[in-house]
């Protein structure tokens, strides 16, 4: 069973997760203060404040980062090079491979591509490649 751990402020990541779950049946857990991960999985978050990792995500990662096979981030292409940059920062700081970036709540193409990446690169396995051509 694939587990997704996510942070959502405006609802974009929540909508993305809802669509992924509807298609796959995977299990999703919304992160919260003092949460402990009991099943390793994949982290999905958002980028805030012109390219920062959300504070709740950052706090969560300080103790739980070793439980993730990959990181994915939403963003807004209007921010140019800062689009989805939270995933880049998390990948670098915590040595977690970046899987994907999507805009706002993602398109169906984004959702299908994310599912394909998780199934084929990271599905219940050890961490995959640090760099993906499509991320």
- Give the tens place of pLDDT for each residue, 10-57: 999 999 999 999 999 999 999 999 999 999 999 999 999 888 999 999
Q: What are the structure tokens assigned to 18, written together?
A: 């809802």
May I ask the CATH class of domain 3-122?
Answer: alpha beta
The total of other beta-carbon atoms located within 10 Å of residue 1's CB is 8
Domain range annotation of the chain = 3-122
pTM of the model: 0.87
Map 96-114 to HEC letters. CCEEEEEECCCCHHHHHHH
Cα atoms in the Cβ-side hemisphere of radius 13 Å centred on 75: 22
């Amino acid at each position: 069973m694939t587990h997704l751990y996510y942070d959502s402020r405006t609802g974009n990541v929540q909508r993305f997760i809802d669509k992924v779950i509807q298609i796959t049946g995977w299990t999703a857990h919304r992160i919260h203060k003092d949460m402990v991960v009991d099943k390793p999985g994949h982290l999905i978050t958002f980028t805030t404040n012109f390219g920062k990792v959300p504070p709740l995500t950052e706090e969560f990662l300080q103790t739980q980062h070793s439980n993730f096979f990959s990181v994915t981030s939403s963003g807004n292409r209007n921010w140019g090079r800062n689009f989805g940059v939270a995933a880049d920062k998390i990948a670098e700081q915590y040595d977690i491979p970046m899987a994907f970036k999507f805009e706002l709540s993602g398109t169906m193409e984004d959702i299908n591509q994310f599912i394909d990446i998780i199934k084929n690169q990271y599905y219940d396995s050890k961490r995959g490649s640090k760099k993906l051509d499509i991320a």
